[in-house]
Amino acid sequence: MRGGGRISSGDFEAQKAANAEAPRIPHLLKRISGLFVPHRNAIILTVVLVLIGAAISVVPPLLTQKAFDLGLFPKSGRPDLPVLYGLVGAMVALWIASAGVGVWQTYLTATVGNKVMGSMRMRLFGHLQRMELAFFTRTKTGIIQSRLQNDVGGVASVLNNTISSVLGNTVTVIAAVVAMLLLSWQMTLVAVVLLPLLVIAQRRVGQVRARIAAQTQESLSDMTAITQEALSVSGILLAKSFNQQRSETQRYGAENRNQIRLQVRQQMSGQWFFAIVQIFLSIIPAIIYVVAAYLIIGRVPITAGTIVAFTTVQSRLLFPTVGLLRVVLDLQTSGALFARIFEYLDLKPAITDSPTARPVDESRVGHVAFDDVTFTYPDGEPDKPTLRGVSFELQPGQFAAFVGPSGAGKTTVSYLVPRLYEATEGSVRFAGQDVRDIVHEDLMRHVGIVSQETYLFHATIGDNLRYAKPDATDEELERAARAANIHETIASFPDGYDTVVGERGYRLSGGEKQRIAIARVLLKDPPVLVLDEATSALDSISERVVQTALDNAAAGRTTISIAHRLSTIRDADVIFVLEHGRIVEQGSHDELLAHDGTYAMLHRQQNAPADALGS
């Protein structure tokens, strides 16, 4: 898909920080309901079990009436024990059946709820994997993690309990009201007269809790971001280097206090409402006794069994009514969390395959060209592009280097080749095709990238290497490691290729990490290699070792080297000099020195004696 018309993710988190309200998602309830569609059979069975359970729950109070009127106090005046035994036995059997139905129902709802939650988490993770690089450069990792963990986890109880709670409590309330009507319609009116007012009040409480829930999740996102930044290896080193451990603790403490305040507000919101509901439903039996007295005085035929059965049913109405109000309140609250999840799912990746995208043309693999490319970063100023009308062409197997002052646009070139960003104007061509017309996964399969900041997983060296080729044999690992000039070092470790590298590879030196990264790319064996200042962070000795490995890796491949140290690209077939986003010079090392332009000036600066630089 070519540029324009997309929902921008650039200012996304800035907007969220300014507005803690839950996002407005059209058709939210419909979309939440759609999550359960794949589990319709289990839901139908759950509904049947709920109906059976609700029906069973209504019968014992009716049997209670019969037990009083026919078993304990029959017209004969003497308890009828056979009838009483039969009624009590029936009640016990129903309670056992109800418990069994409840266990089965709980299993189904827990299974459906957790499957829906797992599916939602996978959808969100997969969608975030498809987002463009710019989204991640402008969004804190901790905030993204919070959406996956806190927001999805926050709706777990709703997903697990909603079906059974809503259906079960609704059916139980309806059945209880029907039973109460059968016993006495007059007392039923007294018992339910204020329920509509409670429903209206509950809705208002739910709106307040939804707002607090959105603020709570934003605070959790901030806490997760602080944790990710401050407790990573890099964060700890930075804090210790500048003696800022106390400051980091205070920063976390401030957000933790805010989280405590919001959690207390969320839990307390509606507590007075439920206290009033409970008081109201609890005092109804006492009111019923008074109403029954007036009915008896008015010669309405009401027996003691009817009064006991009615108050028993009404007391059973308390818990499902409160439970129903609570689950509806939880649904309103979780709506804010669902909205945050769908908000991320609705973000449109800026880089997607066009409907006519094709695989890479294998006959021209290795050919790379820029045709009048202009590029502005999504958060950049439109009138100040990073690249301005850049054009060049590389043939298969050619070694090209890009040099220039800081900010000239060198790294941007390395981003545009594999289409990590998309050209604002002009076209980037790979194997003779516009990269926007190539299936992106296939494009990435043909490009290998070695960057300055090597990323290694907290796993073994072998696992890190196999990230490029999961089915690689031990022989292939060793071959790639030898080519990257790192096998002997790995072999010297007590655990060899089973050595755990630690968080981001911190148990290894910079040169060792870089050579493992090169071995990983060699295992991928791409025809085009992008080297983004791969040695600029290394000392001179490590640089020479790594440079040898890079020379081995570049052999026979089209290589694009983004260079800071000119000594690393002396043998390049062609050197492009960038300045203010334009190619101002190009040629071989000797040709550019003879030209005595920008490249020659950079060369003199890097090779000038230290005392000359100081003066």
pLDDT in tens, 190-247: 777 666 666 666 667 766 777 777 777 778 778 877 877 777 766 776 677 667 888 8
User: Within a domain: residue 611?
Assistant: no
Say whether both 308 and 182 belong to one domain: yes
Q: Where does a domain end: 525, 547, 579?
A: 525
Domain's final residue, options 310, 345, 380: 345
Q: Degrees (nearest 5) of the Cα angle 22, 115, 470?
A: 105
Q: Would you state the torsion angle of the CA atoms of residues 70, 71, 76, 82, taken in this order, to the nearest 10 degrees?
A: 120
pLDDT computed for residue 87 by the predictor? 81
CA geometry: angle 159, 162, 163, nearest 5 deg: 105
**Which residue from 409, 375, 353 is spatially nearest to 584, judged by alpha carbons?**
409
Q: 99 with 388: CB under 8 angstroms?
A: no
User: Is residue 571 domain-resident?
Assistant: no
Higher pLDDT, 425 or 75: 425
Structurally, the chain folds into a number of domains equal to 2
Mean pLDDT of 269-290: 72
Question: Pick from 266, 283, 263, 270: which is nearest to 202 by CA?
Answer: 270
Does residue 435 lie in a domain region?
no
pLDDT, mean of residues 399-417: 91
- Cα(52)–Cα(175) distance, integer angstroms: 11
Per the domain annotation, does 393 fall within a domain? Answer: no
CB 354 within 8 A of CB 437: yes
Contact between 211 and 339 (Cβ < 8 Å): no
pLDDT of residue 434: 94
- pLDDT, average across residues 343-356: 89
Residue 384 lies in a domain: no
179 and 35 assigned to the same domain: yes
pLDDT digits (tens, 9 = 90+) for 255-278: 888 888 888 887 777 677 667 777
Helices (H), 269-303: 271-297
Task: Identify the residue with better confidence: 450 or 323.
Answer: 450
Rounded Cα gap, residues 513 and 532, in angstroms: 15
Which token pair is 301? 């035929």
pLDDT for res 511: 82
Q: Say how far apart CA 349 and CA 206 lie, in whole Å.
A: 34
Would you state the structure tokens that stand for residue 230, as one six-digit string? 């401050």
- Sheet (strand 387-394) strand order: 387-394, 368-375, 425-430, 433-434
Tens-place pLDDT, residues 456-509: 888 899 999 998 999 999 999 999 998 888 899 999 999 999 999 887 777 888
Query: Does the residue 578 lie in any domain?
Result: no
Per-residue pLDDT at 341 exceeds 80: yes
Residue 170 Rama label (left phi>0; alpha psi -120 to 50; beta): alpha
Q: What is the DSSP string of 287-343?
A: HHHHHHHHHHHTT----HHHHHHHHHHHHHHHHHHHHHHHHHHHHHHHHHHHHHHHH
Above pLDDT 90, what percent of the chain? 22
Percent pLDDT > 70 in the chain is 85
Same domain, 341 and 475: no
- Whether residue 609 is contained in a domain is answered as no
Pairing of strands 433-434, 425-430: antiparallel
CA distances (Å), origin 233, targets 221, 236, 238, 513? 20, 5, 9, 15
Q: Among 475, 509, 525, which residue terminates a domain? A: 525
Of 164, 571, 151, 480, the C-alpha closest to 341 is 151
**What residues are paired with 427 via a beta bridge?**
371
369 by DSSP, 3-state: which?
strand
Name the strand (E) or helix (H) holding 84: helix 81-130
By the 8 A CB rule, do 555 and 492 touch? no
Question: How high is the pLDDT of residue 462?
Answer: 93
Number of H helices, E strands in the chain: 24, 10
Taking the C-alpha atoms of residue 571 and residue 590, their distance in angstroms, rounded to an integer, is 10
Is residue 399 situated within a structural domain?
no
Tell me the pLDDT band of 539, cut-offs 50, 70 and 90.
low
CA angle 467, 470, 472 (to 5 degrees): 110
Shared domain for 338 and 466, answered yes or no, is no
Range of the domain at 484: 455-525
Q: What is the CATH number of the domain that holds 509?
A: 3.40.50.300
Q: Do 40 and 169 belong together in one domain?
A: yes
- CATH code at position 276: 1.20.1560.10
Quick check: 379 pLDDT over 70?
yes
